[in-house]
Amino acid sequence: MEEGSGMQARSSTNVKGIDVSHWQGAIDWSKVATDGVKYVFIKATEGVSGVDSRLWANALAASSAGIKVGYYHYARPENNNDAVKEARHFASTVAGYPCQWPLVLDVEGEASKLGARALTQWCAAFLTELERASGRRAMIYSGASFARTYLGKELAGWPLWIAHYSVDKPMDNSTWDRWAIFQYSDKGRVAGIAGNVDLNAMEAEFYGRYAEEDEPMTKEEREAFEQLSAQVAQLAGTVDSLTKQLESATAKIPAPKWFVSEFGESVVAQMSDPTGTMEFWRAVAVSLRTMGYQKV
């Protein structure tokens, strides 16, 4: 297209969805499903080895709640990563997961360090290998300004998921004349999710083309899947609890009252950094007791 001929604006026929990662924490997907959310894209992988810590829990629970699931990979070409290796990592990680949508390459941020020509070639190599390795269609996500500046015409054959906030019509670019998905807000509020979440509009035609791609589960498969989902949700809750305990245990704090009561303020005043973890204060206390230190 000629730049400026215009992408389409968001409309009432678009289908509402969200995208999530571990940053959203534990999600109540049954509540999400009651808030008009028809689909979700879940962060799966990053770079050549990263896997999102909530991928498995989100995929199982969202699918069990009847939400149509897809996945995205956050690219790290600026780390001199090979496009084929990143694509294979993504494909192998989500193999066997419930999936209705094309697999997504998320390219933004520091990927710009490659420059437009090299980055376009990197993305084309990634998308080509991803489709080969996964047997699925691929698509590309990027911010409107980023796409306009860095993503060349060689990528026009892959569907576009574009991000541009607080507007009804995203910025035009010279590679794509239409978007398949439009991320129009990063401050959405959805039932079942604490805090903000990205909101997306999907073209109705695109939704209809892919929404029923996977074969529906049998009654027995659905029951087994729901049991596994419940187990994963319970495990995720346990992991969240342990994570909070670990964060608490490793947090640096001022001298506890029991320490000051036993050894006095003068000991603390002599420290270059009068903060430490609870384990640190216990270790100092043991050391002072061993030396026979008496409070002044």
Strand partners, 138: 103
CB 197 within 8 A of CB 31: no
Whats the size of the chain, residue-wise?
Answer: 296
Tell me the CA distances in angstroms from 221 to 109, 150, 218, one per residue in order: 41, 44, 5
Distance CA 21, CA 242 (A): 19
What does DSSP assign to residue 136? S
* 239-262 pLDDT per residue, tens: 666 656 665 667 778 888 887 888
Pairing state between β 253-254 and 275-276 = antiparallel
Please state the rounded mean pLDDT for residues 96-123: 96
Distance CA 52, CA 29 (A): 18
CB burial of 13-39 (b: ≥16 within 10 Å; e: otherwise) equals ebbebbbbbeebebbebeebbeeebeb
Strand partners, 46: 50, 74
* 46-86 pLDDT per residue, tens: 999 999 999 999 999 999 999 999 999 999 999 999 999 99
Is position 108 annotated as part of the catalytic site? Answer: yes
pLDDT of residue 212 exceeding 60, the answer is yes
Annotated active-site residue in 28, 78, 82, 108:
108
Distance CA 280, CA 286 (A): 10
* 269-282 pLDDT per residue, tens: 777 788 888 778 77
> What's the pTM?
0.73
